[in-house]
Chain A
Amino acid sequence: MSTTTAHTPERTWKGRALSAVKRQEAGLLGVIIVLGLLVTLANDNFLSKDNLYNVLQTVVVVGIIAVGQTFVLIAKEIDLSVGSVLALSAVSAGAAYGNGVNPWLAMAIGIGVGALSGFAVGSVVVLGRVSSFIVTLGMLSIARGLTQLITGGLPQTMPSELSFIGQGRVLGGIPVSVIIFLVLVILGQLLLTRTVFGLRVTAVGDNDAAARTSGIPVGRTRILTFVLIGTLAGVAGIVFSTQVGVAEAQAGLGYELDVIAAAVIGGASLSGGRGSIIGAFLGACLLGVLRNAFILLALSPFLQQLSIGLVIVLAALFDQWRQGNLRHFSLGNLRQRLANRTNA
Chain B
Amino acid sequence: MATTPVDDVRPAALAAVGLAKSFGAVQALRDVSLTFPAGQVTGLLGENGAGKSTLIRLCSGQMRPDRGRLLLDGAEVSFATPLEAIAAGVVVVNQEPLLIGELTIADNLFLYDLGERPGYGRARRSENVQRARALLDRLRMADYLPDPSTLCRDLSAASRQMVDIVRALSRQPKVLFLDEPNSSLTREESERLFAVMNRLRDEGVAVVLVSHRLAEVYSIVDNVIVLRDGTFVAAGPPDEIDQERAVALMAGERKRAVVAEVMADRAEATAQAEAALELDGLTGDGFAGVDLTVHRGEIVGMAGLVGAGRTEIAEAVVGLRRVSGGRIRVGGRPVRIPNPGRAQRLGIAYVAEERRTEVFHEQSVGYNLTVRILSSLGRLGSVSPGRAGRAARDLARRFGVKAASIEAPITSLSGGNQQKVLLARALAAKPEVLILDEPTRGVDVGTKAEIYATLRELAHGEGLAVWFISSELEEIVELADRVVVIRRGQVTLDAPNNAGPNPIVAAAMGATEG
- List chain A positions with a Cβ less than 8 A from chain B: 1, 3-9, 193-200, 202-203, 206-207, 209-211, 213-217, 220-221, 224, 273-274, 340, 344
Q: Take A197-B120, A203-B111 as given contacts and tell me if A213 and B83 are in contact as well, using a CB distance cutoff of 8 Å.
A: yes
Q: Take A203-B103, A224-B119 as given contacts and tell me if A3 and B142 are in contact as well, using a CB distance cutoff of 8 Å.
A: yes
Q: How near does chain B come to A225, taking the closest CB pair, in angstroms?
A: 11
Q: Take A3-B143, A210-B99 as given contacts and tell me if A196 and B113 are in contact as well, using a CB distance cutoff of 8 Å.
A: yes
Those of B88-106 within 8 Å (CB) of chain A: 98-103
Q: Are B103 and A194 touching (Cβ within 8 A)?
A: no
Q: How far is the CA of A340 from the CA of B323 in the complex (A)?
A: 11
| Residues in A neighbouring B133, C-beta threshold 8 A | 1, 4
Q: Take A1-B133, A195-B120, A200-B119 as given contacts and tell me if A214 and B102 are in contact as well, using a CB distance cutoff of 8 Å.
A: no
Q: How near does chain A come to B183, taking the closest CB pair, in angstroms?
A: 19
Please tell me if B68 contacts chain A, counting CB pairs below 8 Å.
Answer: no
Q: Are A196 and B117 touching (Cβ within 8 A)?
A: yes
Q: How far is the CA of A221 from the CA of B119 in the complex (A)?
A: 9
Q: How near does chain A come to B409, taking the closest CB pair, in angstroms?
A: 23
Q: Are B107 and A199 touching (Cβ within 8 A)?
A: yes
Which stretch from B121-129, B294-302, B344-352, B470-478 is at the chain A interface?
B121-129
Q: How far is the CA of A233 from the CA of B115 in the complex (A)?
A: 28
Q: Are A8 and B99 touching (Cβ within 8 A)?
A: no
Q: How far is the CA of A180 from the CA of B138 in the complex (A)?
A: 47
Q: Are A206 and B100 touching (Cβ within 8 A)?
A: yes
Q: How far is the CA of A214 from the CA of B86 in the complex (A)?
A: 10
Known A3-B142, A215-B81; further 4 A-B contacts with Cβ < 8 A: A193-B125, A195-B123, A200-B119, A206-B103
In the complex, which of the residues A1, A8, A195, A203 contacts B122, with contact meaning CB atoms closer than 8 Å? A195
| Interface SS of chain A | helix
Q: How near does chain A come to B421, taking the closest CB pair, in angstroms?
A: 29
| Residues in A neighbouring B150, C-beta threshold 8 A | 8-9
Q: Are A216 and B99 touching (Cβ within 8 A)?
A: no
Those of B250-271 within 8 Å (CB) of chain A: none
User: Could you give 13 example pairs across A and B, Cβ below 8 Å?
Assistant: A4-B142, A4-B147, A5-B147, A7-B143, A9-B150, A196-B119, A199-B107, A203-B111, A207-B99, A207-B100, A210-B98, A210-B111, A216-B114
Q: Are B142 and A197 touching (Cβ within 8 A)?
A: no
| Residues in A neighbouring B123, C-beta threshold 8 A | 193-196, 198-199
Q: How near does chain B come to A341, taking the closest CB pair, in angstroms?
A: 9
Q: How far is the CA of A274 from the CA of B152 in the complex (A)?
A: 13
Please tell me if B7 contacts chain A, counting CB pairs below 8 Å.
Answer: no
| Residues in A neighbouring B101, C-beta threshold 8 A | 206-207, 273
| Residues in B neighbouring A210, C-beta threshold 8 A | 98-100, 111
Q: How far is the CA of A274 from the CA of B101 in the complex (A)?
A: 9
Across the two chains, which residue of chain A brings its CB closest to B125? A194
Q: How far is the CA of A213 from the CA of B57 in the complex (A)?
A: 12
10 tightest Cβ-Cβ pairs between the two chains A and B: A215-B115, A210-B98, A197-B119, A3-B142, A214-B111, A196-B121, A7-B146, A206-B100, A215-B83, A216-B115
Q: Are A9 and B115 touching (Cβ within 8 A)?
A: no
Q: Are A202 and B112 touching (Cβ within 8 A)?
A: no
Number of interface residues of B (CB under 8 A): 37
Q: How near does chain B come to A107, taking the closest CB pair, in angstroms?
A: 24
| Residues in A neighbouring B117, C-beta threshold 8 A | 196
Q: How near does chain B come to A325, taking the closest CB pair, in angstroms?
A: 13
Q: How far is the CA of A221 from the CA of B115 in the complex (A)?
A: 11
Please tell me if B118 contacts chain A, counting CB pairs below 8 Å.
Answer: yes
Q: How near does chain A come to B97, taking the closest CB pair, in angstroms?
A: 8
| Residues in A neighbouring B82, C-beta threshold 8 A | 213
Q: How far is the CA of A222 from the CA of B83 in the complex (A)?
A: 20
| Residues in A neighbouring B144, C-beta threshold 8 A | 7
Q: How far is the CA of A213 from the CA of B167 in the complex (A)?
A: 13
Q: Are B143 and A213 touching (Cβ within 8 A)?
A: no
| Residues in B neighbouring A207, C-beta threshold 8 A | 98-101
Please tell me if B245 contacts chain A, counting CB pairs below 8 Å.
Answer: no
Q: Are A3 and B113 touching (Cβ within 8 A)?
A: no
Q: Are B100 and A202 touching (Cβ within 8 A)?
A: yes
Across the two chains, which residue of chain A brings its CB closest to B324? A336
Across the two chains, which residue of chain A brings its CB closest to B143? A6
| Residues in B neighbouring A3, C-beta threshold 8 A | 137, 142-143
Q: How near does chain B come to A201, taking the closest CB pair, in angstroms?
A: 10
In the complex, which of the residues A193, A200, A209, A344 contacts B114, with contact meaning CB atoms closer than 8 Å? A200
Please tell me if B116 contacts chain A, counting CB pairs below 8 Å.
Answer: yes
In the complex, which of the residues A203, A220, A221 contacts B100, with contact meaning CB atoms closer than 8 Å? A203
| Residues in B neighbouring A197, C-beta threshold 8 A | 119-120
Q: How far is the CA of A215 from the CA of B113 in the complex (A)?
A: 9
B111, B112, B121 — which one has the most chain A CB atoms within 10 A of its CB? B111
In the complex, which of the residues B102, B120, B146 contacts A9, with contact meaning CB atoms closer than 8 Å? B146
Those of B121-160 within 8 Å (CB) of chain A: 121-123, 125, 133, 136-137, 142-148, 150, 154
Across the two chains, which residue of chain A brings its CB closest to B146? A7
Across the two chains, which residue of chain B brings its CB closest to A216? B115
Please tell me if B336 contacts chain A, counting CB pairs below 8 Å.
Answer: yes
Across the two chains, which residue of chain B brings its CB closest to A336? B324
| Residues in A neighbouring B147, C-beta threshold 8 A | 4-5, 7-8
Across the two chains, which residue of chain B brings its CB closest to A328? B322
Give B350-374 as 1s and 0s: 1 = Cβ < 8 Å from A's Cβ atoms. 0000000000000000000000000
Q: How near does chain A come to B31, taking the closest CB pair, in angstroms?
A: 28
Q: Take A194-B122, A199-B103, A224-B119 as given contacts and tell me if A8 and B146 are in contact as well, using a CB distance cutoff of 8 Å.
A: yes
Q: How far is the CA of A221 from the CA of B144 in the complex (A)?
A: 33
| Residues in A neighbouring B114, C-beta threshold 8 A | 196, 199-200, 203, 211, 214-216
